[in-house]
């Protein structure tokens, strides 16, 4: 660009105007000179340095993110007899240093624009969001326009030449287009504000902040912000693109976190969104202390990454919750296209009309804001449907609770009746009380747990609770017949042994968890025509004893296949038993000395197991001896057991 051109050739590069001229045509006649050390004056560039100008190599003047002072030269000749009042319309709203000089053929130089870092908006010769310079040029007259500018951002500077009338039309059309957009954005923001006041949900402040940042950024890009919002703050206007663009990314991330509930559903994405907020805020602050040009350039990448992340988060949510996030997905797909368009121009130098870029940005932002608003409305509609479903589920839950409460009260009433007969049937009722006390306590915990369940949680399987009711109701009914009325628990159809043990396990899990014990059951597929109530009583007493006398650790319940039998085994991490102490513990009403320090009780548990085992021909034994941990087994011989 620093190559020299013959003076004659330079003078032949004259733009002849007879009406408005677009930036692309004007660009064919613009010459360029880069002043790396910012030392050249207008006298030098129109005199001894004039041969250093070269034609620009781009469609319009655009030197990327250059730190040089840039000089442009354009020679214009008017051949239109009807127009002498022209406008130099620069399609940019602001440069930190911006000077325009006009040199007529007599060598006289005028200086219609002289803007430096501290120049307010009011110093412009024409009150327009973009830089406009009046040019008086009668038919047959020519002049050379020199432009000297420096910027902290992109050096893109399209220049159009308009007549006074055509500029008025362009200005009116541009203003109408801008304020239609601004009006739509303000309507959406006000609607969100009213909805936020009524509904008091954090999504509305996030949406308002995001939409406001979007509106302010577009107003800054248009130049309207400098004209109306902060006309006396050129230093802030110089950095406003970073603040507004960064705020767009920050509030967009906050909105995404709240709307998509990433903290609950997408932990990795949530951390990435927090990182975007942190990095963007850091860059905004860092721009106050480091070279703003770099911050402006890299902020474009950060915003593109943020918008892409918002889109990815939306697509991930749409995989399982498309109906809830559909409008949000559409919104960010459009925003991603706009951000990509901006990056291709600023980073890859792809020549895209700024007017097209800004128009596409406005359209995308309007679409984006409308989709975001629809997303909120749609989400609240869905939440209302979900609340109706939750209400129906709550009514069903209440019905279940009433049924379980009724059955629980009846069961407890019958339990009280059993206690009243203790005086007449002491040994029999002692067995009854012992068999029922611990399962009933465990069942009470389970019922209370169901009644306090979070209605929004997954549906509970009530089968195990109802099995526990059936077991205790059958047990109470059987015992209340008294010794004379009772018959042995006869065998009949084949019974799933695993189902019986699973019921006992589910019955006592709440009690074990309350004590801080882990209770594990190993599934089995064995079936047999066993006496189910007897087996259930045996195992219930063993488990109840294990929970009582195991201070910490775990319990393990399972079935081991033997050659001619199977053995139900229960292992715990309690204090352990020797063979002598085991025999003593199996006697009715006998409690070991160590048991008094661990739990209360009457010493009936193992005695009941021994009696039931003898009655049905089972073998009850101690499987391990030692000071730590107890293993007990109940062997059920064939032909009762068959492989399932």
430 domain residue, yes or no: no
Domain boundary among 389, 423, 446: 389
pLDDT band, very low/low/confident/very high, at 447 (cuts 50, 70, 90): low
Evaluate whether residue 189 is within a structural domain.
no
Q: Which residue has the higher pLDDT, 530 or 271?
A: 271
Of 240 and 294, more confident: 240
Q: DSSP for 85-141?
A: EEEEEES-S--SEEEEEEEETT--EEEEEEE-TT--GGGSSS-SSS-EEEEE--TT-
Q: Which domain holds residue 114?
A: 7-168
* CA-angle at 189, arms to 184 and 191, nearest 5°: 95
Q: Is the pLDDT of residue 77 over 80?
A: yes
Please say which residue of 389, 410, 431 terminates a domain. Answer: 389
Q: Is the peptide bond before 639 cis (omega within 30 degrees of 0)?
A: yes
> Are 144 and 108 a contacting pair, CB within 8 Å?
no
Alpha-carbon distance 6 to 27, whole Å? 20
Judge if 207 and 300 occupy the same domain: yes
416 assigned to some structural domain: no
Provide the 3-class DSSP secondary structure of residue 499.
helix
Which SS3 state, helix, strand or coil, does residue 256 take? helix
Residue 457 CB coordination number (10 Å): 7
Would you say 618 and 566 are in contact if contact means Cβ atoms under 8 Å apart? no
pLDDT tens per residue across span 573-609:
988 888 888 898 888 767 665 544 455 555 667 888 9
Q: Phi and psi (nearest 5°) for 142?
A: -135, 155
pLDDT at 537: 87
Looking at residue 443, its pLDDT comes to: 64
Assess whether 141 and 241 both reside in one domain: no
Sign of torsion over alpha carbons 21, 27, 32, 37: positive
pLDDT in tens, 35-50: 999 999 999 999 999 9
Q: In what order do the strands lie in the sheet with 554-561?
A: 518-521, 554-561, 565-572, 630-637, 619-622
Q: Do residues 503 and 534 lie in contact, with contact meaning Cβ atoms separated by under 8 Å?
A: no
Does the pLDDT of residue 119 top 70, yes or no?
Answer: yes
Phi, psi of 261 (to 5 degrees): 50, 50
Domain assignment of residue 62, yes or no: yes
Same domain, 151 and 14: yes
Average pLDDT on 132-144 reads 95
Given a cut of 80, whether residue 479 has pLDDT beyond it is no
Q: Could you tell me if 225 and 374 lie in one domain? A: yes
Shared domain for 79 and 224, answered yes or no, is no
Q: Which two tokens stand for residue 80?
A: 């239109």
Q: What is the crossing angle of helices 426-451 and 354-420, to 10°? A: 160
Q: In percent, how much of the chain has pLDDT > 90?
A: 37
**Span 464-474, pLDDT tens digits:** 566 666 666 66
CB atoms within 10 A of CB 487: 7
Query: Is 283 within the bounds of a domain?
Result: yes
User: Is residue 511's pLDDT more than 50?
Assistant: yes
User: What DSSP assignment string belongs to 382-418?
Assistant: HHHHHHHHHHHHHHHHHHHHHHHHHHHHHHHHHHHHH
Instruction: Establish if 182 belongs to a structural domain.
Output: no
Whether 127 and 216 share a structural domain: no
Residue 8 pLDDT greater than 50, yes or no? no
Using one digit for the tens of pLDDT, what is the confidence trace for 233-268? 999 998 998 999 899 899 989 988 988 889 988 999
Band the pLDDT of 527: cuts 50, 70, 90. confident
- Is 51 part of any domain? yes
The predicted pLDDT at position 69 comes to: 96
Please tell me which residue, 85 or 440, carries the higher pLDDT value: 85
CATH code at 595? 3.30.565.10
- Whether residues 362 and 220 share a domain: the answer is yes
pLDDT at 203: 82
Q: Is the Cβ–Cβ distance between 145 and 15 less than 8 Å? A: no
pLDDT higher than threshold 50 for residue 115: yes
Inform me whether the pLDDT recorded for 3 exceeds 60: no
Three-state SS for 326-377 is: HHHHHHHHHHHHHHHHHHHHHHHCCCCCHHHHHHHHHHHHHHHHHHHHHHHH
pLDDT digits (tens, 9 = 90+) for 305-322: 888 888 888 888 888 876
Same domain, 134 and 72: yes
188 assigned to some structural domain: no
| Domains in the chain, number | 3
List the CATH number of the domain containing 51. Answer: 2.60.40.2380
pLDDT at res. 210: 84
* Residues 523 and 489: beta-carbon distance below 8 Å: no
How far apart, in whole angstroms, are the C-alpha atoms of residue 410 and residue 402?
12
Least confident segment among 395-399, 523-527, 620-624 = 395-399
Q: Give pLDDT, residue 50.
A: 92
Strongest mean pLDDT among 377-391, 449-463, 628-642: 628-642
Residue 6 banded pLDDT, cuts 50, 70, 90: very low
Using CA atoms, how far apart are residues 593 and 571, in angstroms rounded to an integer? Answer: 21
Q: Report residue 435's pLDDT band, with 50, 70 and 90 as the boundaries.
A: low
Planar angle of CA 183, 185, 189, nearest 5 degrees? 115
What percentage of the chain carries pLDDT values higher than 70?
A: 74
Say whether both 15 and 127 belong to one domain: yes
Burial string for 1-17 (b: 16+ CB within 10 Å, else e) reads eeeebeeeebeebebeb
**Of the ranges 104-118, 149-163, 433-447, which one carries the lowest mean pLDDT score?**
433-447
Band of the pLDDT at 357, cuts 50, 70, 90?
low
Q: Rounded to two decimals, what is the model's pTM? A: 0.56
Together in a domain, 162 and 244 = no
Q: Are residues 146 and 212 in the same domain?
A: no
Which of 168, 187, 217 is the endpoint of a domain? 168
pLDDT tops 90 at residue 15: yes
Instruction: Decide if 446 contacts 457 (C-beta within 8 A).
Output: no
Q: Which string of b and e fits 94-113 if b means at least 16 CB within 10 Å?
A: bbbbbbbbbbeeeeeeeebb
Give me the mean pLDDT over the 283-300 stretch.
85
Both 144 and 261 in a single domain?
no
Q: How confident is the model at residue 53 (pLDDT cuts 50, 70, 90)?
A: very high
Write down the pLDDT at residue 167: 95
């Amino acid at each position: 660009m620093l190559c020299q051109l013959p003076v004659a050739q330079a003078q032949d590069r004259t733009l002849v105007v007879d009406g408005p001229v677009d930036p692309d045509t004007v660009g064919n006649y613009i010459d360029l000179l880069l002043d790396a050390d910012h030392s050249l004056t207008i006298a030098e560039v129109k005199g001894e340095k004039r041969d250093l100008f070269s034609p620009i190599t781009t469609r319009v003047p655009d030197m990327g993110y250059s730190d040089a002072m840039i000089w442009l030269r354009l020679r214009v000749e008017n051949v239109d007899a009807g127009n002498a009042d022209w406008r130099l319309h620069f399609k940019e709203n602001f440069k930190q240093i911006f000077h325009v000089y006009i040199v007529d053929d007599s060598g006289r130089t005028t200086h219609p624009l002289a803007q430096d870092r501290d120049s307010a908006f009011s110093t412009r010769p024409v009150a327009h969001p973009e830089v406009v310079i009046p040019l008086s040029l009668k038919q047959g007259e020519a002049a050379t326009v020199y432009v000297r500018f420096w910027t902290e951002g992109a050096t893109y500077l399209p220049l159009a030449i308009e007549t006074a009338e055509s500029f008025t039309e362009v200005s009116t059309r541009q203003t109408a287009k801008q304020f239609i957009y601004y009006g739509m954005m303000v309507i959406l923001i006000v609607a969100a504000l009213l909805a936020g006041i009524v509904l008091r949900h954090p999504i509305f402040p996030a949406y308002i902040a995001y939409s406001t940042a979007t509106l302010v950024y577009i107003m800054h890009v248009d130049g309207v912000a400098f004209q109306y919002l902060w006309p006396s703050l050129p230093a802030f206007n110089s950095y406003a693109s970073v603040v507004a663009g960064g705020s767009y990314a920050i509030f967009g991330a906050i909105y995404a976190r709240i709307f998509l509930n990433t903290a609950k559903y997408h932990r990795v994405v949530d951390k990435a969104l927090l990182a975007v907020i942190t990095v963007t805020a850091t860059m905004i602050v860092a721009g106050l202390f480091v070279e703003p040009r770099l911050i402006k350039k890299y902020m474009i990448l950060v915003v593109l990454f943020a918008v892409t992340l918002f889109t990815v988060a939306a697509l991930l949510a749409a995989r399982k919750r498309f109906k809830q996030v559909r409008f949000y997905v559409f919104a960010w797909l459009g925003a991603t296209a706009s951000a990509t368009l901006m990056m291709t121009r600023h980073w890859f130098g792809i020549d895209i009309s700024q007017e097209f870029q800004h128009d596409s940005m406005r359209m995308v932002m309007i679409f984006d804001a409308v989709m975001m608003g629809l997303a909120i409305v749609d989400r609240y509609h869905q939440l209302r449907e979900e609340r109706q479903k939750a209400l129906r589920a709550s009514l069903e839950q209440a019905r279940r609770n009433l049924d379980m409460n009724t059955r629980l009260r009846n069961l407890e009433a019958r339990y009280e009746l059993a206690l009243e007969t203790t005086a007449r049937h002491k040994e029999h009722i002692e067995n009854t009380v012992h068999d029922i006390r611990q399962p009933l306590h465990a069942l009470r915990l389970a019922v209370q747990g169901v009644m306090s369940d979070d209605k929004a949680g997954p549906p509970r399987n009530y089968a195990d609770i109802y099995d526990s009711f059936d077991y205790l109701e059958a047990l109470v009914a059987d015992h209340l017949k008294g010794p004379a009325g009772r018959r042995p628990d006869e065998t009949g159809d084949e019974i799933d042994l695993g189902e019986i043990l699973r019921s006992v396990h589910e019955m006592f899990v709440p009690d074990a968890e309350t004590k801080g014990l882990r209770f594990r059951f190993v599934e089995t597929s064995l079936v047999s025509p066993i006496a189910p109530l007897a087996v259930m009583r045996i195992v219930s007493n063993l488990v109840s004893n294990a929970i009582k006398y195991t201070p910490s650790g775990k319990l393990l319940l399972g079935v081991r296949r033997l050659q001619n039998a199977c053995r139900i085994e229960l292992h715990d991490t309690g204090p352990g038993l020797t063979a002598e102490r085991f025999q003593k513990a199996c006697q009715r009403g006998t409690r070991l000395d160590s048991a008094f320090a661990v739990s209360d009780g009457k010493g009936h548990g193992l005695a009941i197991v021994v009696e039931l085992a003898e009655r049905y021909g089972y073998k009850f034994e101690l499987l391990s001896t030692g000071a730590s941990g107890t293993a007990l087994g109940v062997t059920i011989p064939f032909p009762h057991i068959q492989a399932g």
